Amino acid sequence: MTETALSLAAAVRNGDRTARSVVEEHLTAIEAREGDINAFNLVMTDDALAQADAVDAQVAAGEDPGPLAGVPLALKDNMCTRGVATTASSKILEGWEPPYNATVVDRLAAAGAITMGKTNLDEFAMGSSTENSAFGVTHNPLNLDVVPGGSSGGSAAAVAAGFASLGIGSDTGGSIRQPASFCGVVGVKPTYGAVSRYGLIAFASSLDQIGPLANNVADAAALYEAIAGHDHMDSTSIPLPALPVSSELDHGVEGMRIGVISELDGSGIEGIAVDVQARTRAAVDALTAAGAIVEQVSVPSVVYGLSAYYLIAPAEASSNLSRYDGVRYGLREDGANNEAMNIASRTAGFGDEVKRRIMLGTYALSAGYYDAYYGKAQKVRTLIIDDFAAAYEKFDVLVTPTAPTTAFEIGARTADPMTMYVNDICTIPSNLAGHPAMSVPYGVGDDGLPIGVQVLAPLLGEVAMFRVGAALERSLL
Protein backbone atom coordinates (compact mmCIF):
# COMPACT_ATOMS: atom_id res chain seq x y z
CA MET A 1 0.00 0.00 0.00
CA THR A 2 1.63 3.20 -1.13
CA GLU A 3 -1.18 5.52 -0.12
CA THR A 4 -1.18 6.55 3.53
CA ALA A 5 -4.32 7.24 5.56
CA LEU A 6 -3.41 10.92 5.61
CA SER A 7 -2.93 11.09 1.81
CA LEU A 8 -6.29 9.33 1.30
CA ALA A 9 -7.98 11.79 3.66
CA ALA A 10 -6.36 14.73 1.85
CA ALA A 11 -7.53 13.42 -1.53
CA VAL A 12 -11.09 12.95 -0.27
CA ARG A 13 -11.15 16.33 1.48
CA ASN A 14 -10.03 18.27 -1.58
CA GLY A 15 -12.29 16.34 -3.95
CA ASP A 16 -9.59 14.45 -5.89
CA ARG A 17 -11.15 11.16 -4.83
CA THR A 18 -14.54 10.13 -3.56
CA ALA A 19 -14.82 8.28 -0.26
CA ARG A 20 -16.97 5.74 -2.12
CA SER A 21 -14.16 4.90 -4.54
CA VAL A 22 -11.71 4.49 -1.64
CA VAL A 23 -14.09 2.20 0.22
CA GLU A 24 -14.91 0.17 -2.91
CA GLU A 25 -11.21 -0.34 -3.57
CA HIS A 26 -10.70 -1.69 -0.04
CA LEU A 27 -13.81 -3.89 -0.28
CA THR A 28 -12.26 -5.43 -3.40
CA ALA A 29 -9.06 -6.12 -1.48
CA ILE A 30 -11.11 -7.75 1.30
CA GLU A 31 -12.99 -9.90 -1.19
CA ALA A 32 -9.74 -11.10 -2.73
CA ARG A 33 -7.94 -12.24 0.44
CA GLU A 34 -10.29 -12.34 3.44
CA GLY A 35 -11.07 -16.01 2.80
CA ASP A 36 -7.40 -16.82 3.48
CA ILE A 37 -6.81 -14.38 6.33
CA ASN A 38 -10.08 -14.21 8.34
CA ALA A 39 -9.34 -10.78 9.80
CA PHE A 40 -13.01 -9.86 10.23
CA ASN A 41 -15.87 -11.28 12.27
CA LEU A 42 -18.13 -9.01 10.23
CA VAL A 43 -17.55 -6.94 7.08
CA MET A 44 -19.94 -3.96 7.18
CA THR A 45 -20.23 -3.47 3.40
CA ASP A 46 -23.54 -1.57 3.32
CA ASP A 47 -22.79 0.58 6.37
CA ALA A 48 -19.33 1.44 5.00
CA LEU A 49 -20.72 2.51 1.62
CA ALA A 50 -23.45 4.58 3.31
CA GLN A 51 -20.84 6.26 5.54
CA ALA A 52 -18.71 6.95 2.46
CA ASP A 53 -21.64 8.54 0.64
CA ALA A 54 -22.32 10.74 3.66
CA VAL A 55 -18.68 11.93 3.62
CA ASP A 56 -18.90 12.62 -0.13
CA ALA A 57 -22.11 14.59 0.42
CA GLN A 58 -20.33 16.71 3.06
CA VAL A 59 -17.47 17.42 0.65
CA ALA A 60 -19.94 18.33 -2.11
CA ALA A 61 -21.79 20.68 0.24
CA GLY A 62 -18.56 22.42 1.23
CA GLU A 63 -18.72 21.11 4.81
CA ASP A 64 -15.67 19.83 6.75
CA PRO A 65 -15.79 16.02 6.54
CA GLY A 66 -13.18 15.59 9.29
CA PRO A 67 -9.44 14.92 9.43
CA LEU A 68 -9.79 11.22 8.53
CA ALA A 69 -12.42 11.74 5.81
CA GLY A 70 -13.04 8.58 3.82
CA VAL A 71 -10.25 6.57 5.46
CA PRO A 72 -11.18 2.87 5.79
CA LEU A 73 -10.75 1.60 9.35
CA ALA A 74 -10.85 -1.86 10.97
CA LEU A 75 -12.49 -1.90 14.42
CA LYS A 76 -11.72 -4.61 16.97
CA ASP A 77 -14.88 -6.53 17.75
CA ASN A 78 -14.77 -5.79 21.48
CA MET A 79 -16.01 -2.23 20.97
CA CYS A 80 -19.73 -1.54 20.89
CA THR A 81 -21.42 -0.49 17.66
CA ARG A 82 -25.09 0.36 18.02
CA GLY A 83 -27.30 -2.12 16.17
CA VAL A 84 -24.28 -3.95 14.72
CA ALA A 85 -23.22 -7.34 16.13
CA THR A 86 -20.45 -7.08 18.74
CA THR A 87 -19.09 -10.41 19.95
CA ALA A 88 -15.66 -10.04 21.61
CA SER A 89 -15.12 -13.26 19.57
CA SER A 90 -17.11 -15.14 22.22
CA LYS A 91 -20.00 -17.50 21.72
CA ILE A 92 -21.58 -15.95 24.80
CA LEU A 93 -22.16 -12.67 22.90
CA GLU A 94 -22.91 -14.12 19.47
CA GLY A 95 -25.66 -12.10 17.80
CA TRP A 96 -25.69 -9.33 20.43
CA GLU A 97 -26.43 -5.90 18.98
CA PRO A 98 -25.41 -3.20 21.47
CA PRO A 99 -27.89 -0.40 22.21
CA TYR A 100 -25.12 2.22 22.16
CA ASN A 101 -21.81 3.15 20.50
CA ALA A 102 -18.45 3.13 22.21
CA THR A 103 -17.08 6.67 22.51
CA VAL A 104 -14.26 5.83 20.08
CA VAL A 105 -16.83 4.75 17.48
CA ASP A 106 -18.60 8.12 17.69
CA ARG A 107 -15.29 10.00 17.58
CA LEU A 108 -14.11 8.06 14.53
CA ALA A 109 -17.37 8.77 12.72
CA ALA A 110 -17.05 12.47 13.59
CA ALA A 111 -13.51 12.41 12.16
CA GLY A 112 -14.87 11.01 8.89
CA ALA A 113 -13.25 7.54 9.17
CA ILE A 114 -15.19 4.67 7.60
CA THR A 115 -15.58 1.50 9.69
CA MET A 116 -15.16 -1.40 7.26
CA GLY A 117 -15.95 -4.11 9.78
CA LYS A 118 -15.43 -5.70 13.16
CA THR A 119 -12.16 -7.60 13.51
CA ASN A 120 -11.34 -10.93 15.11
CA LEU A 121 -9.59 -11.19 18.48
CA ASP A 122 -8.75 -13.71 21.15
CA GLU A 123 -11.99 -14.22 23.09
CA PHE A 124 -12.49 -11.20 25.38
CA ALA A 125 -8.97 -10.08 24.33
CA MET A 126 -7.42 -12.93 26.35
CA GLY A 127 -4.56 -14.21 24.25
CA SER A 128 -1.53 -13.33 22.16
CA SER A 129 -2.24 -15.08 18.85
CA THR A 130 -5.91 -14.61 17.79
CA GLU A 131 -6.27 -18.38 17.95
CA ASN A 132 -8.66 -18.36 20.96
CA SER A 133 -11.63 -17.08 18.98
CA ALA A 134 -15.08 -18.63 18.69
CA PHE A 135 -14.99 -17.53 15.04
CA GLY A 136 -11.79 -19.19 13.87
CA VAL A 137 -8.11 -18.36 13.66
CA THR A 138 -6.82 -15.20 11.94
CA HIS A 139 -3.81 -15.77 9.67
CA ASN A 140 -0.85 -13.41 9.30
CA PRO A 141 -1.11 -11.75 5.85
CA LEU A 142 2.68 -11.92 5.44
CA ASN A 143 2.71 -15.71 5.90
CA LEU A 144 -0.58 -17.59 6.25
CA ASP A 145 1.04 -20.36 8.33
CA VAL A 146 1.90 -18.06 11.24
CA VAL A 147 -0.23 -16.16 13.73
CA PRO A 148 -0.85 -12.40 13.44
CA GLY A 149 -0.29 -11.99 17.19
CA GLY A 150 -3.04 -10.94 19.51
CA SER A 151 -5.32 -10.17 20.91
CA SER A 152 -5.86 -7.39 18.33
CA GLY A 153 -4.69 -9.77 15.58
CA GLY A 154 -7.65 -9.09 13.30
CA SER A 155 -7.08 -5.33 13.26
CA ALA A 156 -3.31 -5.71 12.76
CA ALA A 157 -3.86 -8.24 9.95
CA ALA A 158 -6.47 -6.00 8.29
CA VAL A 159 -4.03 -3.06 8.22
CA ALA A 160 -1.11 -5.21 7.03
CA ALA A 161 -3.27 -6.79 4.29
CA GLY A 162 -4.51 -3.44 2.99
CA PHE A 163 -8.13 -4.21 4.00
CA ALA A 164 -8.15 -0.93 5.91
CA SER A 165 -5.73 1.95 6.17
CA LEU A 166 -6.17 2.26 9.94
CA GLY A 167 -7.01 -0.13 12.75
CA ILE A 168 -8.29 0.18 16.29
CA GLY A 169 -7.18 -2.29 18.94
CA SER A 170 -7.19 -2.61 22.70
CA ASP A 171 -4.12 -3.34 24.81
CA THR A 172 -4.25 -4.91 28.28
CA GLY A 173 -0.80 -6.56 28.34
CA GLY A 174 0.50 -5.91 24.81
CA SER A 175 -2.53 -6.70 22.65
CA ILE A 176 -1.93 -3.80 20.25
CA ARG A 177 1.88 -3.71 20.25
CA GLN A 178 2.64 -7.44 19.88
CA PRO A 179 0.35 -8.01 16.84
CA ALA A 180 1.77 -4.77 15.36
CA SER A 181 5.23 -6.29 15.73
CA PHE A 182 4.15 -9.61 14.19
CA CYS A 183 2.37 -7.97 11.22
CA GLY A 184 4.93 -5.25 10.51
CA VAL A 185 2.73 -2.26 11.36
CA VAL A 186 2.81 0.54 13.94
CA GLY A 187 0.85 -0.06 17.16
CA VAL A 188 0.29 2.40 20.01
CA LYS A 189 -0.92 1.93 23.57
CA PRO A 190 -1.62 5.45 24.84
CA THR A 191 -1.42 6.49 28.51
CA TYR A 192 -4.08 4.75 30.61
CA GLY A 193 -7.10 7.04 30.57
CA ALA A 194 -6.04 8.97 27.44
CA VAL A 195 -8.71 7.23 25.31
CA SER A 196 -12.19 6.63 26.71
CA ARG A 197 -13.01 3.01 27.53
CA TYR A 198 -16.77 3.65 27.37
CA GLY A 199 -18.19 0.89 25.20
CA LEU A 200 -15.02 -1.23 25.29
CA ILE A 201 -15.99 -4.68 26.56
CA ALA A 202 -14.08 -4.87 29.84
CA PHE A 203 -11.30 -7.40 30.38
CA ALA A 204 -9.04 -5.94 33.11
CA SER A 205 -10.28 -2.44 33.79
CA SER A 206 -7.16 -1.01 35.47
CA LEU A 207 -5.02 -2.12 32.48
CA ASP A 208 -7.25 -1.91 29.35
CA GLN A 209 -6.54 0.89 26.89
CA ILE A 210 -7.74 1.51 23.32
CA GLY A 211 -5.21 2.63 20.72
CA PRO A 212 -4.22 2.92 17.03
CA LEU A 213 -2.73 0.54 14.48
CA ALA A 214 -1.43 2.00 11.21
CA ASN A 215 1.06 1.51 8.38
CA ASN A 216 3.19 4.43 9.51
CA VAL A 217 3.83 6.67 12.50
CA ALA A 218 2.15 9.80 11.09
CA ASP A 219 -1.09 7.89 10.42
CA ALA A 220 -0.99 6.43 13.93
CA ALA A 221 -0.47 9.93 15.37
CA ALA A 222 -3.47 11.30 13.46
CA LEU A 223 -5.63 8.39 14.67
CA TYR A 224 -4.48 8.90 18.28
CA GLU A 225 -5.48 12.57 18.04
CA ALA A 226 -8.92 11.62 16.66
CA ILE A 227 -9.76 9.26 19.54
CA ALA A 228 -7.95 10.68 22.60
CA GLY A 229 -9.26 13.32 24.96
CA HIS A 230 -11.57 13.48 27.96
CA ASP A 231 -14.95 11.72 27.98
CA HIS A 232 -17.41 12.20 30.82
CA MET A 233 -18.80 8.69 30.19
CA ASP A 234 -15.59 7.11 31.53
CA SER A 235 -14.73 8.09 35.11
CA THR A 236 -11.10 6.98 34.55
CA SER A 237 -10.74 9.27 31.52
CA ILE A 238 -7.98 11.85 32.03
CA PRO A 239 -9.52 15.36 31.98
CA LEU A 240 -7.21 16.66 29.25
CA PRO A 241 -7.48 17.01 25.46
CA ALA A 242 -5.41 14.79 23.12
CA LEU A 243 -1.73 15.71 23.18
CA PRO A 244 -0.48 17.41 19.98
CA VAL A 245 1.74 14.64 18.63
CA SER A 246 1.45 15.06 14.84
CA SER A 247 3.04 18.51 14.82
CA GLU A 248 6.10 17.17 16.71
CA LEU A 249 6.93 14.16 14.55
CA ASP A 250 9.64 15.87 12.50
CA HIS A 251 11.49 17.41 15.42
CA GLY A 252 14.05 14.61 15.61
CA VAL A 253 15.86 13.15 18.60
CA GLU A 254 18.95 15.38 18.75
CA GLY A 255 19.98 15.57 22.41
CA MET A 256 17.18 13.31 23.63
CA ARG A 257 18.17 10.86 26.37
CA ILE A 258 17.16 7.31 25.54
CA GLY A 259 17.57 4.34 27.91
CA VAL A 260 17.77 0.70 26.83
CA ILE A 261 16.24 -1.51 29.53
CA SER A 262 18.98 -4.02 30.33
CA GLU A 263 16.61 -6.60 31.86
CA LEU A 264 14.81 -6.89 28.49
CA ASP A 265 17.71 -6.66 26.01
CA GLY A 266 18.57 -10.36 25.98
CA SER A 267 21.22 -10.16 28.71
CA GLY A 268 18.55 -10.17 31.44
CA ILE A 269 15.44 -12.26 30.91
CA GLU A 270 15.99 -15.37 28.80
CA GLY A 271 14.04 -16.04 25.64
CA ILE A 272 14.63 -12.83 23.64
CA ALA A 273 15.61 -14.24 20.24
CA VAL A 274 19.01 -13.38 18.80
CA ASP A 275 17.55 -11.76 15.67
CA VAL A 276 15.20 -9.65 17.81
CA GLN A 277 18.16 -8.51 19.93
CA ALA A 278 20.06 -7.62 16.75
CA ARG A 279 17.24 -5.47 15.33
CA THR A 280 16.82 -3.72 18.68
CA ARG A 281 20.53 -2.90 18.68
CA ALA A 282 20.23 -1.63 15.11
CA ALA A 283 17.41 0.68 16.22
CA VAL A 284 19.49 1.95 19.13
CA ASP A 285 22.43 2.59 16.79
CA ALA A 286 20.16 4.54 14.44
CA LEU A 287 18.91 6.73 17.30
CA THR A 288 22.51 7.37 18.37
CA ALA A 289 23.37 8.32 14.78
CA ALA A 290 20.41 10.71 14.78
CA GLY A 291 21.88 12.56 17.73
CA ALA A 292 20.25 10.92 20.75
CA ILE A 293 22.24 10.08 23.87
CA VAL A 294 21.67 6.36 24.38
CA GLU A 295 22.67 4.36 27.48
CA GLN A 296 21.75 1.11 29.21
CA VAL A 297 19.45 1.45 32.23
CA SER A 298 18.29 -1.08 34.78
CA VAL A 299 14.58 -1.30 35.68
CA PRO A 300 14.94 -4.27 38.05
CA SER A 301 11.31 -4.97 38.94
CA VAL A 302 10.16 -5.46 35.33
CA VAL A 303 11.19 -9.11 35.76
CA TYR A 304 8.20 -9.54 38.10
CA GLY A 305 5.81 -7.97 35.59
CA LEU A 306 4.67 -11.17 33.92
CA SER A 307 3.77 -12.89 37.19
CA ALA A 308 2.04 -9.81 38.57
CA TYR A 309 0.07 -9.34 35.36
CA TYR A 310 -1.16 -12.94 35.29
CA LEU A 311 -2.58 -12.45 38.78
CA ILE A 312 -4.05 -8.95 38.36
CA ALA A 313 -5.57 -9.31 34.88
CA PRO A 314 -7.40 -12.60 35.65
CA ALA A 315 -8.57 -11.21 39.01
CA GLU A 316 -10.16 -8.20 37.33
CA ALA A 317 -11.48 -10.39 34.51
CA SER A 318 -13.17 -12.78 36.94
CA SER A 319 -15.09 -9.83 38.32
CA ASN A 320 -15.82 -8.17 34.96
CA LEU A 321 -17.03 -11.37 33.32
CA SER A 322 -19.47 -12.17 36.11
CA ARG A 323 -21.97 -10.04 34.16
CA TYR A 324 -22.38 -12.79 31.53
CA ASP A 325 -25.11 -14.70 33.29
CA GLY A 326 -27.70 -15.29 30.57
CA VAL A 327 -30.09 -12.73 32.04
CA ARG A 328 -29.86 -9.43 30.13
CA TYR A 329 -28.06 -10.23 26.86
CA GLY A 330 -26.15 -12.92 25.06
CA LEU A 331 -26.40 -16.67 25.23
CA ARG A 332 -28.91 -18.37 27.54
CA GLU A 333 -28.93 -22.12 28.11
CA ASP A 334 -31.94 -23.60 29.88
CA GLY A 335 -31.79 -24.48 33.55
CA ALA A 336 -34.38 -25.58 36.11
CA ASN A 337 -33.73 -22.50 38.22
CA ASN A 338 -31.86 -19.23 37.79
CA GLU A 339 -28.53 -20.48 39.14
CA ALA A 340 -28.61 -23.60 36.96
CA MET A 341 -29.34 -21.34 33.97
CA ASN A 342 -26.38 -19.07 34.88
CA ILE A 343 -24.02 -22.05 35.13
CA ALA A 344 -25.25 -23.70 31.93
CA SER A 345 -25.01 -20.42 29.98
CA ARG A 346 -21.49 -19.55 31.18
CA THR A 347 -20.22 -23.10 30.70
CA ALA A 348 -21.52 -23.27 27.13
CA GLY A 349 -20.62 -19.68 26.21
CA PHE A 350 -17.01 -19.25 27.39
CA GLY A 351 -13.98 -20.88 25.74
CA ASP A 352 -11.25 -22.67 27.69
CA GLU A 353 -8.80 -19.78 27.98
CA VAL A 354 -11.52 -17.51 29.35
CA LYS A 355 -12.59 -20.18 31.85
CA ARG A 356 -8.95 -20.67 32.88
CA ARG A 357 -8.51 -16.96 33.57
CA ILE A 358 -11.82 -16.61 35.39
CA MET A 359 -10.83 -19.49 37.67
CA LEU A 360 -7.29 -18.19 38.17
CA GLY A 361 -8.67 -14.77 39.07
CA THR A 362 -11.30 -16.20 41.39
CA TYR A 363 -8.54 -18.11 43.15
CA ALA A 364 -6.21 -15.09 43.38
CA LEU A 365 -9.02 -13.10 45.02
CA SER A 366 -10.31 -15.84 47.33
CA ALA A 367 -10.05 -15.81 51.10
CA GLY A 368 -6.64 -16.99 52.29
CA TYR A 369 -4.91 -16.26 48.98
CA TYR A 370 -5.76 -12.59 48.39
CA ASP A 371 -2.72 -11.23 50.26
CA ALA A 372 -0.26 -13.73 48.78
CA TYR A 373 -1.37 -13.28 45.17
CA TYR A 374 -3.54 -10.29 44.25
CA GLY A 375 -2.32 -8.07 47.09
CA LYS A 376 1.32 -8.85 46.38
CA ALA A 377 0.88 -8.30 42.65
CA GLN A 378 -0.54 -4.82 43.34
CA LYS A 379 2.60 -4.05 45.32
CA VAL A 380 4.74 -5.17 42.37
CA ARG A 381 2.87 -2.57 40.35
CA THR A 382 4.13 0.09 42.76
CA LEU A 383 7.70 -1.25 42.52
CA ILE A 384 7.56 -1.08 38.71
CA ILE A 385 6.18 2.46 38.79
CA ASP A 386 8.95 3.52 41.22
CA ASP A 387 11.68 1.90 39.11
CA PHE A 388 10.35 3.57 35.97
CA ALA A 389 10.25 6.92 37.80
CA ALA A 390 13.92 6.52 38.69
CA ALA A 391 14.78 5.70 35.07
CA TYR A 392 12.83 8.69 33.75
CA GLU A 393 14.85 11.03 35.97
CA LYS A 394 17.73 10.28 33.58
CA PHE A 395 15.95 9.43 30.33
CA ASP A 396 13.17 10.89 28.17
CA VAL A 397 12.09 7.53 26.73
CA LEU A 398 13.09 3.88 27.07
CA VAL A 399 13.56 1.24 24.37
CA THR A 400 13.05 -2.56 24.37
CA PRO A 401 12.05 -5.22 21.86
CA THR A 402 8.25 -5.41 21.49
CA ALA A 403 8.00 -9.21 21.50
CA PRO A 404 10.64 -11.86 22.30
CA THR A 405 10.34 -13.51 18.87
CA THR A 406 8.85 -13.05 15.42
CA ALA A 407 5.39 -14.52 14.66
CA PHE A 408 5.18 -18.25 15.47
CA GLU A 409 3.36 -21.02 13.65
CA ILE A 410 -0.36 -21.46 14.14
CA GLY A 411 -0.94 -24.13 16.77
CA ALA A 412 2.64 -24.08 18.09
CA ARG A 413 1.83 -22.62 21.51
CA THR A 414 -1.82 -23.47 22.17
CA ALA A 415 -1.21 -26.55 24.35
CA ASP A 416 0.68 -24.79 27.16
CA PRO A 417 -0.67 -21.44 28.43
CA MET A 418 2.68 -20.34 29.92
CA THR A 419 4.48 -20.55 26.55
CA MET A 420 1.83 -18.17 25.21
CA TYR A 421 1.99 -15.80 28.18
CA VAL A 422 5.76 -15.12 27.84
CA ASN A 423 5.00 -13.29 24.58
CA ASP A 424 3.93 -10.33 26.71
CA ILE A 425 7.07 -10.05 28.83
CA CYS A 426 8.29 -6.77 27.26
CA THR A 427 4.90 -5.12 26.86
CA ILE A 428 3.27 -5.83 30.25
CA PRO A 429 5.29 -3.35 32.39
CA SER A 430 3.75 -0.35 30.55
CA ASN A 431 0.23 -1.60 31.27
CA LEU A 432 1.00 -2.17 34.95
CA ALA A 433 2.41 1.38 35.19
CA GLY A 434 -0.31 2.96 32.99
CA HIS A 435 2.39 4.40 30.73
CA PRO A 436 2.24 4.89 26.94
CA ALA A 437 4.29 2.63 24.66
CA MET A 438 4.41 1.98 20.93
CA SER A 439 5.80 -0.64 18.57
CA VAL A 440 7.54 0.48 15.38
CA PRO A 441 8.48 -2.05 12.66
CA TYR A 442 12.26 -2.31 12.41
CA GLY A 443 13.20 -4.81 9.74
CA VAL A 444 12.82 -8.58 9.68
CA GLY A 445 14.21 -11.62 11.46
CA ASP A 446 16.03 -14.68 10.16
CA ASP A 447 12.67 -16.09 9.00
CA GLY A 448 11.87 -12.96 6.99
CA LEU A 449 9.05 -11.98 9.36
CA PRO A 450 8.77 -8.48 10.87
CA ILE A 451 10.36 -7.37 14.13
CA GLY A 452 9.05 -4.42 16.12
CA VAL A 453 11.00 -2.17 18.46
CA GLN A 454 9.15 -0.76 21.46
CA VAL A 455 9.41 2.86 22.64
CA LEU A 456 8.22 3.51 26.21
CA ALA A 457 7.48 6.88 27.81
CA PRO A 458 6.24 8.12 31.20
CA LEU A 459 2.59 9.04 31.92
CA LEU A 460 1.38 11.46 29.19
CA GLY A 461 4.78 11.22 27.46
CA GLU A 462 3.22 10.60 24.04
CA VAL A 463 4.91 13.57 22.36
CA ALA A 464 8.45 12.31 23.03
CA MET A 465 7.39 8.72 22.30
CA PHE A 466 5.98 9.59 18.86
CA ARG A 467 9.07 11.70 18.06
CA VAL A 468 11.32 8.71 18.68
CA GLY A 469 8.96 6.44 16.74
CA ALA A 470 9.09 8.79 13.77
CA ALA A 471 12.91 8.97 13.99
CA LEU A 472 13.13 5.17 13.92
CA GLU A 473 10.87 5.07 10.88
CA ARG A 474 12.93 7.74 9.07
CA SER A 475 16.17 5.86 9.77
CA LEU A 476 14.89 2.97 7.63
CA LEU A 477 14.16 5.12 4.57
Partner 1 sequence: MSSPISREDVAHIASLARLSVTEKELDLFTGQLADILGHAADVESLDAHDVAPTYHPYPMTNVLRADVVRPSLDREEVLSQAPATESGQFRVPPVLGEA
**103-142: contacts with partner 1 (CB under 8 A):** none
377 binds partner 1 (CB under 8 A): yes
Rule CB under 8 A: choose which of 257, 281, 355, 474 binds partner 1: 355
Nearest CB to partner 1, comparing residues 232 and 394: 232
Nearest CB to partner 1, comparing residues 23 and 365: 365
304 binds partner 1 (CB under 8 A): yes
Nearest CB to partner 1, comparing residues 336 and 477: 336
424 binds partner 1 (CB under 8 A): no
Draw the binding track, 319-348, toward partner 1 (x: CB under 8 A; -: no contact): ---x--xxxxxxxx-xxxxxxxxxxx-xx-
Distant-in-sequence, close-in-space partners of 388: CB < 8 Å, separation ≥ 6? 299, 398, 429, 433, 435, 458
Rule CB under 8 A: choose which of 434, 452, 458, 469 binds partner 1: 434
> Choosing from 151, 152, 155, 345, which is the catalytic residue?
151
Q: Write down the least CB distance from residue 110 to partner 1, Å.
A: 19
Nearest CB to partner 1, comparing residues 80 and 108: 80
Q: Is 247 a catalytic residue?
A: no
Q: Is 206 a catalytic residue?
A: no
Nearest CB to partner 1, comparing residues 363 and 444: 363
Rule CB under 8 A: choose which of 372, 389, 390, 412 binds partner 1: 372
Rule CB under 8 A: choose which of 382, 390, 409, 412 binds partner 1: 382
Draw the binding track, 38-77, toward partner 1 (x: CB under 8 A; -: no contact): ----------------------------------------
Q: Is 376 a catalytic residue?
A: no
Nearest CB to partner 1, comparing residues 62 and 368: 368
Rule CB under 8 A: choose which of 282, 363, 444, 475 binds partner 1: 363
> Choosing from 175, 181, 237, 246, which is the catalytic residue?
175
Rule CB under 8 A: choose which of 40, 163, 198, 350 binds partner 1: 350
What is the footprint of partner 1 within residues 234-263 (CB under 8 A)? 235-236, 238
Give the residue numbers annotated as catalytic, written as ranges: 76, 151, 175
